[in-house]
Structure 1
Amino acid sequence: MRALNYLELAGPLERSGIATAARQQHAALAPTDVEVVTRPWAGDDPLDTAVSIARGDGAFADFDLAHCHLFGPGSVAVARHARRTDTPLVLHAHTLRENTMGSWRGVELLADPLERYLRWFYSLADLVISPSAYAKRRLESYPIDAPIEVLTNGVDLDSLAGVEEYREPYRERFDLEGTVVFTVGNVFERKGLTTFCELAQRTDYEFVWFGPYDTGPHASEEVKRWVNDPPASVTFTGWVDDKRGAFGAGDVFCFPTKSETQGLVALEAMACGKACVLSDLPVFREYFTDGEDCLLCETETEYVEAIERLAADPGLRDELGANARETAREHSLDRVGEELADIYRDLVEGTRS
């Protein structure tokens, strides 16, 4: 079977969670009998595509199934091609109205139009894959007119191997000492930026946000405020070359995010054996257990108490971290590849109910 697994704007989105999820799927499918292509277009470049069109062979490559991770014009073109050619179409619901708000300046003005658009777009699918039961429920509330199945984004355990070796080099690089509270990923208000900085002001520990940020015109006021004038104990590193350095350097992973479809970075922190302090969200309660593999918090006071407990008790950090590592193993790419290959096979054979 030849399957298109397509991330539109893969270059600009290279540092995003969606891109990580797509790359993980490509890796997960490699051991299966699915041949993966990542570009929908005929040929390797626009000239090849133009030649194919001129020959009358069309703009699209040959594939038995199409799977798209985004919702832009390229993905819409693939979806329409799939409809015309009766090719099974899978759309991946990484993006919801809820997890877009708070990412860029003025995005809240697009909330209602975005929800209507996503309702239309996801309804084109033969199957929508949701990273969590929480996201599935949100899609059902829109509602969308397509079946929905839940499949974890998984976590690439191999990509995090040897994380301990990066601890000292990255702590030296960013001049870190003592207990370091940290998070990883793009700097957005939706990811809990204001809470993160206010927690730093209420505790005596170093806080580090490993990840890129943008203070240009489309950046939110919160991002510009905190990045340009951070509290004394907060470091914004910008992009780091190897995520293992970020996970290695920190001690307590703090993720006060407001909305996630799954929260891949939390799984990565768990895979590295880090003690995790997370927002008390339905999506995290779905996959994680408070007090066993993480600590879940609703208020800033609860976050402060959790951080203080973990800073004072290395044994508790180790216990939570060990349990978290076991949780992450349940989301291995072996599982993702097998389940995704089964989904593809059933859709192509017409046996998926």
Structure 2
Amino acid sequence: MKVFIYSEMQKMIEKSGVGRALYHQQQAARENDIELTDRLEDADVIHINTVFPRSVLAAKKAVRLGIPVIYHAHSTREDFKNSYIGSNLFAGLFGKWITYCYKHGTMIVTPSEYSKSLLKSYGIDQPIEVISNGVDLSYYDRKKVDFMTFRHKYGYRAQDKIIMCAGLTIDRKGVIDFVELARRMPQYKFIWFGETNLNTVPPRIRKAVRTKLPNLRFAGYAQPEELREAYGSCDLFLFPSKEETEGIVVLEALAMKIPVLLRDIPVYSDWLNGGENVYKAIDVDTFRFMAGQILEHKVPDLTEAGYEVAKSRSIEKVGEQLRNVYESSIAERARLVVNGEL
């Protein structure tokens, strides 16, 4: 079985969650002895990750060639909102476009039950499989981190308590709340990894990112090794994102056994339980309260329970699930041909 894992404009998306997910798919394939090809004509299945025009053309060509199309639904109308200048205005059109794209799939893969429910609400009736984006447990391993390397680099002391976040610096990710928490909690250090061209975001986001506080740092984009060092050296991963289809950085934080505090949003409802494997908050006041409780060890340590969640979504298990999807798509295509339905 040969699979063409397809993405468009890879340079543009490589720092995004879609870019990370694509890398995970390739790794999952290698770990499960799935042969990859970069030629559609040689493929038994095409797995499409992007929603640009050439991606739709690739899907159409695959259909003409009789090749099953797996369309990976990373994006939704809801997570397009509150991202860039004009994104709310065009969210409706974006929703129609991605629906058009995804309907070219023989089967759709999406990373959570929540995103599956959104896709169904768009009128998509193709089979939809929920498969996590996954996390590389061999890489995101706390034992591989030197606690002080990260702290020395950023001028933190051993006794400092550090709250970190990772994501694009956009409204949807909760950057304004993160800055406000730093303002209200001067006894702790706050650091955000990730960046966005500030010319593409509303003025209030630019203002937040440019905020000058002695305990706040926007560190920009971090390579995986540096992000791993941060997870293993900080005291709390606080993720105030208002909308996700899964949250790869959440999986990485769980794998690194750092306490996790999330906004209580629907995407986590069926796999991350507040007070069981993570902590949750609903607004700045509850984020402030819960962060203090966690950092001062006034609530139970949930990191081992969180790690079990990460194990359930390992790259290896993702690969097994993708293999099943690829094989079932090929088998269904063959059945339809034999029965004269194609």
TM-score (norm 1): 0.89
Cα distance, 1:129 vs. partner? 0.6
2:106 is aligned to 126
Secondary structure at 2:117 match in 1: helix
2:16 is aligned to 16
Deviations 1:5-45 (A, max 9, x none): 112122222111111111111111113342112x44xxxxx
Report the more deviating stretch, 226-235 or 200-209: 226-235
The reply to whether residue 75 of structure 1 matches residue 55 of structure 2 is: yes
**CA–CA separation in structure 1 for the residues paired with 2:164 and 2:71:** 33
Secondary structure at 1:273 match in 2: coil
Secondary structure at 1:349 match in 2: helix
2:120 is aligned to 140
The alignment of Structure 1 onto Structure 2 pairs a total of residues equal to: 330
The question of whether the paired residues in 1 share the 8 Å contact of 2:56 and 2:104 is answered with: no
The question of whether the paired residues in 2 share the 8 Å contact of 1:251 and 1:275 is answered with: yes
**CA–CA separation in structure 2 for the residues paired with 1:26 and 1:82:** 20
Which residue among 88, 93, 99 is the counterpart of 1:113? 93
- Ranges in structure 1 where 5+ consecutive residues have no aligned partner: 41-59
Deviations 1:246-303 (A, max 9, x none): 2123111000101000111111000000110001011112211110111111121111
2:190 is aligned to 207
The question of whether the paired residues in 1 share the 8 Å contact of 2:142 and 2:257 is answered with: no
1:1-353 to 2 correspondence within 5 Å?
Answer: 1-37=1-37, 39-40=38-39, 60-162=40-142, 165-177=145-157, 178-203=160-185, 204-215=187-198, 217-241=199-223, 242=225, 243-313=227-297, 316=300, 319-350=301-332
1:269–1:342 CA distance, 2 compared to 1 (3 A)? same
TM-score (norm 2): 0.91
**CA–CA separation in structure 1 for the residues paired with 2:228 and 2:121:** 38
Secondary structure at 2:308 match in 1: helix
Percent same amino acid among aligned pairs?
30
**CA–CA separation in structure 2 for the residues paired with 1:164 and 1:34:** 28
**CA–CA separation in structure 2 for the residues paired with 1:310 and 1:89:** 45
Cα distance, 1:85 vs. partner? 1.4
Report the more deviating stretch, 226-235 or 291-300: 226-235
Secondary structure at 2:36 match in 1: strand
The question of whether the paired residues in 2 share the 8 Å contact of 1:163 and 1:244 is answered with: no
**CA–CA separation in structure 1 for the residues paired with 2:210 and 2:69:** 44
1:86 is matched by which residue type in structure 2? G
The question of whether the paired residues in 1 share the 8 Å contact of 2:32 and 2:316 is answered with: no
